[in-house]
């Protein structure tokens, strides 16, 4: 097989072969050795959680950059371009460099598969994780922040040794892989933390889930630190985010949604641990969060009408978003564009959000046409048919054309685009092209 020359070619090769999940630990540790990846644990931060892990990772990145650290951030999934998954000091990796790394690692990768057999065939996520570590080596980074894909023990990120990890939330998502209860999911998530390390827990983790985490932590000598919202004031700045005051330090958190305050507290607690371990020099660098860039999360784009985009893809996240939208609405009419991906069970989501949106929604548009989308016909009947207008579009671009053309220059309307991050990515590109 000819080694791939681009990330797209690599994806085409890997997507046609399912990796052996049972051999994941052996395979990934072999790859770490193959590519001579040995990063000091003090420079590795791993973040897991049902929701909020990407936001916490991006906040921490902004704080560390303000401290003049060289930071590599690896997150998933991407909104539109795969380069979004890799940031160096807040900037997406250049496609040319990404393809160069692919060209460098592919011959070794294909060779070891040929030598050791099909069990060495990695998943695409495994290879992307290796690429993030290669980027860290190239840039001689000070910190690498790794967002887990799914779970903790279930995810290869947990196989990378790190002194500091965090769990941002525990909710019901990916239950087919992680378990059907919060306790079962927590039992997997805690695996993100390395043995003899420190694990930061978000302040709102369920008690039963926390007990499961504590049991595992005790067995592996993991120090638990609970984030808490003490000694600071928060002022809502409307759609601009929040002003946060900590003693004499004042900063702007440019993200909308009260749940982002909780994410900030988690990021701040990790940041304080980095100071204690002499990785971060200046507490004032916390203000770097004001420069945060994290699109597609309660992101406000344009006015008249106001567009808000959020990649809330499970019930817990959607409940939080709809609560925030309800608080933000004044005289405005709310229009919703919703698209779900194939890992969602509409029966677990739609009846619950139907109750939340009934009092506040004028019309709802259902769509598909994005990666791994499910047809709206599969869940339309789960919505209250008589309470608001329901329209189905086969492709999100058709839905966006309709919304954009019919709602232009309407000052009293808010349009919420919510669901799969792949839907958010496509709609975001559409909006930005129209509003430039």
Q: Is the separation of the CB atoms in 52 and 261 below 8 Å?
A: no
Task: Give the H/E segment covering residue 129.
Answer: helix 124-139
The whole-angstrom separation of Cα 1 and Cα 30 is 21
DSSP bridge partners of 161: none
Q: Is the separation of the CB atoms in 309 and 417 below 8 Å?
A: yes
According to the model, what pLDDT value does residue 1 have? 66
The whole-angstrom separation of Cα 148 and Cα 430 is 29
The whole-angstrom separation of Cα 80 and Cα 378 is 25
The whole-angstrom separation of Cα 419 and Cα 19 is 28
Please give the CATH superfamily to which domain 7-291 belongs: Mur-like, catalytic domain (3.40.1190.10)
Does residue 146 carry a pLDDT above 80? yes
238 CB-side CA count, 13 A: 3
Where are the domain boundaries for CATH 3.90.190.20 in the chain?
299-435
Confidence band for 194, pLDDT divided at 50, 70 and 90:
very high
Sheet with 242-246, edge to edge strand ranges: 232-236, 242-246, 249-253
Q: Is the separation of the CB atoms in 125 and 31 below 8 Å?
A: no
Cis check: omega of the bond before 399, within 30 degrees of 0: no
The whole-angstrom separation of Cα 352 and Cα 76 is 27
According to the model, what pLDDT value does residue 215 have? 96
Residue indicated by tokens 């919505």: 383
According to the model, what pLDDT value does residue 81 have? 94
DSSP bridge partners of 147: 47
pLDDT single digits (tens) 376-388: 998 888 887 666 7
178 vs 433, residue with greater confidence: 433
Confidence band for 20, pLDDT divided at 50, 70 and 90:
confident
328 vs 92, residue with greater confidence: 92
pLDDT single digits (tens) 248-280: 899 999 999 999 999 999 999 999 999 999 999
Q: Is the separation of the CB atoms in 212 and 190 below 8 Å?
A: yes
Tokens of 333: 């009419």
Over residues 17-23, the mean pLDDT reads 79
Where are the domain boundaries for CATH 3.40.1190.10 in the chain?
7-291
Over residues 102-119, the mean pLDDT reads 92
The whole-angstrom separation of Cα 74 and Cα 168 is 16
Over residues 43-55, the mean pLDDT reads 96
Q: Is the separation of the CB atoms in 11 and 128 below 8 Å?
A: no
The whole-angstrom separation of Cα 168 and Cα 151 is 12
Tokens of 18: 């399912």
Full-model pTM: 0.94
Residue indicated by tokens 């309800």: 326
Confidence band for 288, pLDDT divided at 50, 70 and 90:
very high
Whole-number average pLDDT of the chain:
92
Please give the CATH superfamily to which domain 299-435 belongs: Mur ligase, C-terminal domain (3.90.190.20)
Q: Is the separation of the CB atoms in 145 and 57 below 8 Å?
A: yes
């Amino acid at each position: 097989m000819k080694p791939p020359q681009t990330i797209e070619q690599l994806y085409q090769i890997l997507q046609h072969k399912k990796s052996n999940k049972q051999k994941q630990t052996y395979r990934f540790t072999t790859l770490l050795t193959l590519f001579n990846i040995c990063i000091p644990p003090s420079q590795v931060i791993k973040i897991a959680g049902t929701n909020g892990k990407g936001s916490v990772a991006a906040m921490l990145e902004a704080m560390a950059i303000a401290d003049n650290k060289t930071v590599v951030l690896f997150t998933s999934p991407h909104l539109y371009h795969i380069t979004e998954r890799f940031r160096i000091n807040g900037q997406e990796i250049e496609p040319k460099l990404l393809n160069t790394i692919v060209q460098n690692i592919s011959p070794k990768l294909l060779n070891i598969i040929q030598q050791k057999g099909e069990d060495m065939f990695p998943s695409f996520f495994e290879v992307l994780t290796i690429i993030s570590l290669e980027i860290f080596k190239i840039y001689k980074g000070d910190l690498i922040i790794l967002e887990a894909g799914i779970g903790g023990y279930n995810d290869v990120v947990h196989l990378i040794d790190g002194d500091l990890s965090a769990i941002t939330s525990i909710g019901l998502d990916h239950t087919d892989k992680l378990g059907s209860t919060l306790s079962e999911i927590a039992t997997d998530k805690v695996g993100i933390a390395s043995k003899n390390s420190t694990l930061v827990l978000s302040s709102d983790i369920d008690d039963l889930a926390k007990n499961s985490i504590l049991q595992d932590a005790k067995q592996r000598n993991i120090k638990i630190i609970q984030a808490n919202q003490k000694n600071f004031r928060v002022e809502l700045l409307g759609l601009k985010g929040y002003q946060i005051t900590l003693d004499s330090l004042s900063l702007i958190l440019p993200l909308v949604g009260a749940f982002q305050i909780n994410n900030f507290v988690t990021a701040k607690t990790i940041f304080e641990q980095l100071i204690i371990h002499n990785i971060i020099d200046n507490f004032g660098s916390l203000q770097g969060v004001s420069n945060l860039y994290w699109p597609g999360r309660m992101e406000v784009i344009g006015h008249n009408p106001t567009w808000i985009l959020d990649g809330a893809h499970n019930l817990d996240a959607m409940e939080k978003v709809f609560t925030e939208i309800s608080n933000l609405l004044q005289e405005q009419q709310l229009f919703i564009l919703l698209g779900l991906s194939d890992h969602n069970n509409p029966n677990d989501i739609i009846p619950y959000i139907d109750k939340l949106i009934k009092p506040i929604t004028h019309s709802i548009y259902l769509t598909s046409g994005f990666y791994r989308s499910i047809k709206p016909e599969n869940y339309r009947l789960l919505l209250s048919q008589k309470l608001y207008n329901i329209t189905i579009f086969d492709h999100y671009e058709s839905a966006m054309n309709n919304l954009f053309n019919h709602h232009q220059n309407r000052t009293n309307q808010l349009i919420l685009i919510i669901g799969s991050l792949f839907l958010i990515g496509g709609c975001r590109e559409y909006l930005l092209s129209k509003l430039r």
